[in-house]
């Protein structure tokens, strides 16, 4: 981490978390954030759901909810970027405070509730996106929608022309009853609508599904079966958790989704089990507690073709992205793999 980045991170930590987050996004959008030189290598290249990723380290949804910092994110060294979640209509989300740093645990709790500017405003920004990035949008539903399942298809219809992939997010814990859409019947109906909206587009668009880490084995098995039958192109495992492992920070009891280091083991076990259930029928993206090259590599060996991070950036800054990619190259050398693709799933049994 450079001195400029260290100073900026220290300054941000002097503000409340949501204000600091807004400042970071504004700096990125204006080209003011310090960015490290990206790490590139053919050994890190990954083909996922028809997308060519220059490296496997992606930005998870939630960091840039409204697609206002695309130019900065395109230069931050990510292999792919996911923005949103977007809902058909703008909504303010839940009352503040709704974002909490758990510094002693290297974790974050949020209960934002899909606050965003709405699909039309976000689509206008996506239309001006940099061409040289792999960009996706997290699809969400309005809290007061009469037909939440149709909301996902609506957002896809509005924004799809400007995307490389879209993610169906039925796993946020911060919109009441949203996770009910992960049930087999409800999810199948929802995905039917999204796939119909995709089929109406002039070009193919990969559709991903983001799942919760708090599923039973039976629920996970049913979900994997539904996703495969629906033609989902990849599964993102996982979103935040509503469970609470032992935590040290004062805000540990806050309501919302927990992310960061304490989520790593839970989300990786879900990922490995999902890899076993899908058995190569679709690629997986590992999310949850990734804060180092070793953790990214563990996700890949558990079955992920790529990873995403977000919470670790709160503590490590954007310089973490090239550090992870450089570390992955060193881990490939250590274990004798020619490419990262060769390592996918080779350590799955360690998590089952």
Residues 6+ apart with CB under 8 A from 96: 18
- H-type alpha helices, the chain: 3-12, 17-29, 70-74, 119-126, 148-159, 184-199, 217-230, 264-278, 293-302, 311-316, 320-335, 340-343
Angle among Cα 96, 99, 105 to the nearest 5 degrees reads 150
Structure tokens that stand for 136 in this block = 């996706």
Cβ(232)–Cβ(274) below 8 Å: no
Query: To 10 degrees, the CA torsion angle through 102, 106, 110, 114?
Result: 160
Angle among Cα 173, 174, 178 to the nearest 5 degrees reads 65
CB burial readout 201-226, b (16+ within 10 A) else e: eeeebbbbbbbbbbbeeeebbbbbeb
Structure tokens that stand for 47 in this block = 């083909």
Is 41 a residue of the active site? no
Residue tagged active-site, from 71, 103, 145, 172: 172
Query: Which of the residues are catalytic?
Result: 172
């Amino acid at each position: 981490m450079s001195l400029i980045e260290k100073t900026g991170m220290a300054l941000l930590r002097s503000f409340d978390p949501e204000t600091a987050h807004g400042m970071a996004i504004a700096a990125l959008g204006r080209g003011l954030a310090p960015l490290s030189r990206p790490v590139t290598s053919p050994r890190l290249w990954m083909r996922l759901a028809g997308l060519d990723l220059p490296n496997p380290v992606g930005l998870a949804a939630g960091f840039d909810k409204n697609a206002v910092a695309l130019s900065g994110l395109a230069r931050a060294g990510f292999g792919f970027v996911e923005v949103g979640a977007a809902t058909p209509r703008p909504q303010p989300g839940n009352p503040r405070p709704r974002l909490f740093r758990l510094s002693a645990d290297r974790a974050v709790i949020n209960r934002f509730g899909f606050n965003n500017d709405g699909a039309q405003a976000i689509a206008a920004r996506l239309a001006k996106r940099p061409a040289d990035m792999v960009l996706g949008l997290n699809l969400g539903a309005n809290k007061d929608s009469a037909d939440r399942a149709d909301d996902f298809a609506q957002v896809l219809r509005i924004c799809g022309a400007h995307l490389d992939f879209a993610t169906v997010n039925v796993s946020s814990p911060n919109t009441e009853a949203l996770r009910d859409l992960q049930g087999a019947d409800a999810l199948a109906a929802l995905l039917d609508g999204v796939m119909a909206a995709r089929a109406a587009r002039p070009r193919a668009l990969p559709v991903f599904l983001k799942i919760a880490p708090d599923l039973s084995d039976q629920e996970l098995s049913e979900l994997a079966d539904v996703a495969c039958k629906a033609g989902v192109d990849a599964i993102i495992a996982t979103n935040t958790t509503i469970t609470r492992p032992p935590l040290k920070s004062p805000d540990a009891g806050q309501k919302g989704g927990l992310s960061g280091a304490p989520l790593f083991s839970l989300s990786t076990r879900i990922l490995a089990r999902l890899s076993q259930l899908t058995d190569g029928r679709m690629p997986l993206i590992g999310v949850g507690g990734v804060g180092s090259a070793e953790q990214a590599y563990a996700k890949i060996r558990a079955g992920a073709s790529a990873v995403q991070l977000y919470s670790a950036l709160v503590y490590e800054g954007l310089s973490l992205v090239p550090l992870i990619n450089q570390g992955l190259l060193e881990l490939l050398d250590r274990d004798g793999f020619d490419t990262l693709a060769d390592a996918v799933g080779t350590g799955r049994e360690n998590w089952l």
